[in-house]
Amino acid sequence: MTILLQTLQLICGLALFLYGMNVMGDAMKRIGGSRMKSILSNATSNPRKGFLLGLGVTALVQSSSATTVMVVGFVNSGLMTLRQTVGVIMGANVGSASTAWLTGLSVIEGGNDGVLGFLSLLKPTSWMPILAITGLFITMMSKSTRKKNIGHALLGFSILMVGMEYMAMAVDPLKESDGFRSLLTMFKNPALGILAGLIPTLVVQSSAASIGILQVLATTGGITYGTSIPIIMGLNIGTCVTAMLSSIGANKNARRTALIHLYFNVLSAMIWLVVYLVVTAVVDIPFLSHPVDVWWGIAAVHTVFKILSVITLAPFSRLIERLAVLSVPDDKSEDTIDLLDERLFLTPTVAVERATEVTEKMAVISAEAFRLSLGLINRYDEKIAQTIRDFENKADLYEDSLGSYLTKLASTSDLPERESRQVTMLLHLIGDFERISDHAVNLVESAEEIKEKKVAFSKEANRELAVMYGAVDEILSLATDSFTKQDLHAASLVEPLEQVVDYLRDEIKLQHILRLQKSECSIEHGFVLADILTNLERVSDHCSNIAGLILEMSAHGDVGTHQYLRDVRAGGEGFKRNYNEYLRKYSLGVGTPSDAVGNDDPSV
């Protein structure tokens, strides 16, 4: 019964440790999330800079696996190149050693005097209750998202250390067990030692947890420095499983990134295991048979191994990269469309930024498709028509991918308020950009109809359409700039120009009717003209939605576009002035509407 209770206590401690590590890591990633992209994506081909970046980020989030998974996501999304990852991965391996020093605090033992007496004050039992209460108070009382994240980090660390205490208490009675000591002596075999570190890490997918268990076992006195070395090598290989699983289904460079992580850890373990075996066979080192009887012993061995691994393999970083490339050869059939990687959900702020960048690319594609379609009306070209259809298909893919990605991001991630508003805005915008590309294809179909039926507009009709083309082209530029460049001035000009486009549509229809009465145009001309005008006016409507949303989110942080646009039209000298200026700029030369100046609602 005693063994059963000790086992349950050990499992309970491990569960608390893993949960606390997860809570603390998630909180730290949210705290540093807004800077994570600039930290990692700015890594250059300089391995030293990448090393420092990886080390710093891993020390922040307390997980080399989390850092590596983020790097895989960045590479998969095109935010980082494969070469940039090598130094970051090496730095992440060294940075993960910091966890062992933190968890080592739980096994400090000493008297009341001297250095050990001071260090004993660092034990979790000495100050963890204060830390936990502080974290709980901040979490419950603070309204600031950042402060809440700090509170969660403190609570997570408290839970982590309590888990370590539980594990330490569970194995404490085993100090006097001869059977347990004989079991630990099996680890003196290097092969069994590597398996002893590899297998638990594969199961829990956390080298920090494995190191914590090893530190607890070391308190029994049955773990020697020589025994710990192969175990630490094994757990460093086991920690690669998270990134390898994360790379499944990713593009080739993301899979190569996971392999770089694996190759680095496997090669470093093989090299130093050979060195260890050769040295111990030739030289008798009493230190290696000494039990790990100081709290920092395991942490020191772990850190030294990490540093030696980097020193050994850093000069061969290009070769490791090349090995990964050879392992995952180029696939010419691989789709080159920008990928939205759910691995970035680990850092929601970065995920939102990536979604924004992809939406900007979608906006550019949709705008380019529409501009190309304007030129087909008078001069049809089969290749350009196909290019427009390809753009429209790509815009559809973007909308589907972004819609799914943003919906999952909003529902599964604890987004800060600012990022949550951005997600809401993007979900609205992608629909407008996709519809603009649809109208581009509609104009292609109108151009094809003109060609097939040999429809020829009159010189006057072509002149009027050219005026409207110019107005719609400008409103499209203003709308895309308002989003891609966050240009609020450009956004403020969209609505008055949209009203002018509405006026041009109605006026051109009227002029067509007058020409029809004079037999200068046919009814067939009118059907094609009506389709063209409808698509032009609908595009201006979508531009109005885009700009209105940008202005509304900037002013109020909420989505209420239609009411906002009604308020804009209802008053303001600036709106009237801009409307009249655009009316003069895009004049058809057939008179000015009587309500163009001074009307509170210039809609015509």
Q: Cβ neighbours of residue 278 under 8 Å, at least 6 residues apart?
A: none
Can you state the angle between helices 47-61 and 64-76, rounded to 10 degrees?
Answer: 120
Can you state the angle between helices 297-313 and 82-95, rounded to 10 degrees?
Answer: 160
User: Residues of 103-139 as b/e, b for ≥16 C-beta within 10 angstroms?
Assistant: bbbbbbebeeeeeeeeebeebbeeebeeebeebeebb
Q: Given pLDDT bands bounded at 50, 70 and 90, which one contains residue 123? A: low
Verify that 515 and 477 share a domain, yes or no: yes
Which CATH number is 562's domain given?
A: 1.20.58
Into how many domains does the chain fold?
3
Q: What is the mean pLDDT of residues 461-478?
A: 92
Least trusted range by pLDDT, from 218-227, 293-302, 575-584, 585-594 = 585-594
Q: What is the mean pLDDT of residues 580-585?
A: 91
| Dist CA 230 CA 194 (whole Å) | 5
128's tokens: 């963890």
484, pLDDT greater than 80: yes
Which CATH number is 389's domain given?
A: 1.20.58.220
Domain boundary among 410, 434, 454: 454
Better-scored residue on pLDDT, 244 or 448 = 448
pLDDT digits (tens, 9 = 90+) for 189-226: 788 888 888 887 777 666 777 777 777 777 777 788 88
Verify that 41 and 171 share a domain, yes or no: yes
Q: What is the mean pLDDT of residues 240-256?
A: 77
Domain boundary among 278, 298, 327: 327
Q: Is 335 a domain residue?
A: no
25, pLDDT greater than 80: no
List residues bridging with 291 in a β-sheet. Answer: 224
Q: What's the pLDDT score for residue 111?
A: 46
Q: What's the pLDDT score for residue 41?
A: 53
Least trusted range by pLDDT, from 159-168, 209-218, 277-286, 460-469 = 159-168
509's tokens: 């229809």
Q: Given pLDDT bands bounded at 50, 70 and 90, which one contains residue 601? A: very low
Q: Is 339 a domain residue?
A: no
Q: Given pLDDT bands bounded at 50, 70 and 90, which one contains residue 264? A: very high
Q: Name the region of 251 (left: φ>0; alpha: ψ -120 to 50; beta: rest).
A: beta
Q: What is the mean pLDDT of residues 148-156?
A: 82
Q: Domain residues for 353?
A: 347-454
Q: Is 323 a domain residue?
A: yes
Q: What's the pLDDT score for residue 34?
A: 52
Verify that 122 and 259 share a domain, yes or no: yes
457, pLDDT greater than 50: yes
Q: Is 210 a domain residue?
A: yes
Q: What's the pLDDT score for residue 184?
A: 52
175's tokens: 């100090």
39, pLDDT greater than 70: no
300, pLDDT greater than 80: yes
| Dist CA 390 CA 473 (whole Å) | 20
Fill in the amino acid letter for 472: V
Q: Is 342 a domain residue?
A: no
Q: Given pLDDT bands bounded at 50, 70 and 90, which one contains residue 312? A: very high
Domain boundary among 404, 433, 454: 454
Which phi and psi angles does 174 have, rounded to 5°?
-75, -10
Contact at 8 Å (CB) between 479 and 546?
yes
| Dist CA 354 CA 341 (whole Å) | 9
Q: Is 109 a domain residue?
A: yes
Contact at 8 Å (CB) between 526 and 512?
yes
Q: Is 159 a domain residue?
A: yes
109, pLDDT greater than 60: no
Q: State whether residue 68 is helix, strand or coil.
A: helix
Q: What is the mean pLDDT of residues 490-499?
A: 91
DSSP 75-114: HHTTSS-HHHHHHHHHHHHHHTHHHHHHHGGGG----SSH
Arithmetic mean of pLDDT over the chain: 78
Q: What's the pLDDT score for residue 516?
A: 72
| Dist CA 98 CA 58 (whole Å) | 9
Q: What's the pLDDT score for residue 360?
A: 92
Verify that 581 and 484 share a domain, yes or no: yes
Residue 339 DSSP code: P
Verify that 419 and 357 share a domain, yes or no: yes
pLDDT digits (tens, 9 = 90+) for 398-413: 998 899 899 988 886 5
Task: For 336-403, list the strands marked E by DSSP.
Answer: none
Of the candidates 198, 332, 353, 180, the residue with the CA atom closest to the CA atom of residue 252: 332
Q: What is the mean pLDDT of residues 578-591?
A: 84
Q: What's the pLDDT score for residue 408?
A: 87
pLDDT digits (tens, 9 = 90+) for 314-367: 888 889 988 998 988 866 544 445 567 777 776 777 788 888 989 999 999 999
12, pLDDT greater than 90: no
Widest distance between CA atoms in the chain: 112
N-terminal to C-terminal alpha carbon distance within the chain: 87
Contact at 8 Å (CB) between 317 and 43?
no
Verify that 564 and 538 share a domain, yes or no: yes
Verify that 185 and 271 share a domain, yes or no: yes
Contact at 8 Å (CB) between 261 and 58?
no
Of the candidates 277, 292, 187, 279, the residue with the CA atom closest to the CA atom of residue 234: 187
Q: What's the pLDDT score for residue 524?
A: 67
| Dist CA 603 CA 267 (whole Å) | 72
CA of 28: how far to CAs of 88, 140, 153, 346, in Å? Answer: 18, 18, 6, 11
| Dist CA 203 CA 181 (whole Å) | 24
154, pLDDT greater than 50: yes
| Dist CA 287 CA 584 (whole Å) | 90
Of the candidates 495, 462, 506, 501, the residue with the CA atom closest to the CA atom of residue 578: 495
Half-sphere exposure for 292 (CA within 13 Å, toward CB): 27
Verify that 202 and 319 share a domain, yes or no: yes
Q: What's the pLDDT score for residue 452?
A: 86
Residue percentage of the chain with pLDDT more than 90 = 21
- The DSSP element (H or E) to which 153 belongs, if any, is helix 145-171
Q: What's the pLDDT score for residue 383?
A: 92
Q: What's the pLDDT score for residue 410?
A: 84
433, pLDDT greater than 90: yes
Q: Is 338 a domain residue?
A: no
Q: Given pLDDT bands bounded at 50, 70 and 90, which one contains residue 555? A: low
Which phi and psi angles does 107 have, rounded to 5°?
-110, 20
Q: What's the pLDDT score for residue 126?
A: 62
196's tokens: 């002893």
Of the candidates 355, 329, 357, the residue with the CA atom closest to the CA atom of residue 340: 355
Residue percentage of the chain with pLDDT more than 70 = 75
| Dist CA 205 CA 235 (whole Å) | 10
CA of 585: how far to CAs of 460, 468, 535, in Å? Answer: 18, 11, 21
Better-scored residue on pLDDT, 564 or 263 = 263
415, pLDDT greater than 70: yes
Q: What's the pLDDT score for residue 173?
A: 64
Q: What's the pLDDT score for residue 336?
A: 43
Verify that 437 and 461 share a domain, yes or no: no
Verify that 448 and 364 share a domain, yes or no: yes
Verify that 192 and 311 share a domain, yes or no: yes
Verify that 449 and 394 share a domain, yes or no: yes
Contact at 8 Å (CB) between 184 and 227?
yes
Q: Given pLDDT bands bounded at 50, 70 and 90, which one contains residue 13? A: confident
Least trusted range by pLDDT, from 244-253, 274-283, 527-536, 553-562 = 553-562
